[in-house]
Amino acid sequence: MTATPQLLIAWHSQSGTCARLAAAALAGARRAEGAGVAAGRCEDLGSVEVAAASGLLLVAAENAGRLAGGAKQFLDRVFYPSIDRDLVLPAAVLVSAGNDGRNAVGDIERMLKGIPFTPATEPLIIRGLPRPEDLARAGELGEALATGLALGLF
């Protein structure tokens, strides 16, 4: 019997904004059939959780023109263990930003490419405090990723 695919949502948040977006993505992923989903703070996750996943969604902010440190630390931590395990996961990016976010996306993409994880979707940047429609987009992203994993699309 094939194991149910699992989406891992890893998030880092200082103010709670990324936490809200991650919660919305988690709720969306739970709407999908045929895939499991787990979510956790980047500081609580490591290579064991990544290795158990079939796909990854990273939710983090851009700070001072770079990926927020807590999320960067997570990627630094799982980088070599993932390579050692020959992990190739579909991965997606949700960045929260004040007015930009592109450098954080670039940082994440550069690191994920090196593992190498494969991009599952276009990166999603949400600027400013999330409005209801932004939370809905985060939910749709989580649902699309979990559905894609369930259907073996990635």
Task: Pick the piece of the chain touching ligand FMN (CB under 6 A) from 85-93, 95-103, 115-123, 140-148.
Answer: 95-103
Contact between 17 and ligand FMN by CB under 6 A: the answer reads yes
Residue 43, number of CB atoms within 10 A of its CB: 13
DSSP the chain: -PPPPEEEEEE--SSSHHHHHHHHHHHHHHHSSS-EEEEEEGGG--HHHHHH-SEEEEEEEEETTEE-HHHHHHHHHHHHHHHHTT---EEEEEEEESS--HHHHHHHHHHHHHTT-EE-S--EEEESSPPHHHHHHHHHHHHHHHHHHHHT--
Using CB under 6 A as the binding criterion, the count of chain residues that bind ligand FMN stands at 18
Options 31-39, 64-72, 107-115, 145-153: segment touching ligand FMN (CB under 6 A): 64-72
Other C-beta atoms closer than 10 Å to the C-beta of 83 total: 12
User: Which residue, 19 or 51, is less far from ligand FMN as judged by CB?
Assistant: 19
Residue 114 CB, shortest distance to ligand FMN, in Å, is 23
Should residue 9 be labelled a site residue for ligand FMN when binding is judged by CB under 6 A?
Answer: no
Task: Please state the closest distance from residue 101 (CB atom) to ligand FMN, in A.
Answer: 5
- Of the residues 29, 56, 68, 141, which one makes contact with ligand FMN according to CB under 6 A: 68
Q: Can the peptide bond before residue 116 be classed as cis, meaning omega within 30 degrees of 0? A: yes
**What x-and-dash track marks residues 21-60 binding ligand FMN by CB under 6 A?**
----------------------------------------
Q: Is 105 in the site for ligand FMN (CB under 6 A)?
A: no
Contact residues for ligand FMN, defined by CB under 6 A: 13-18, 61-65, 68, 96-101
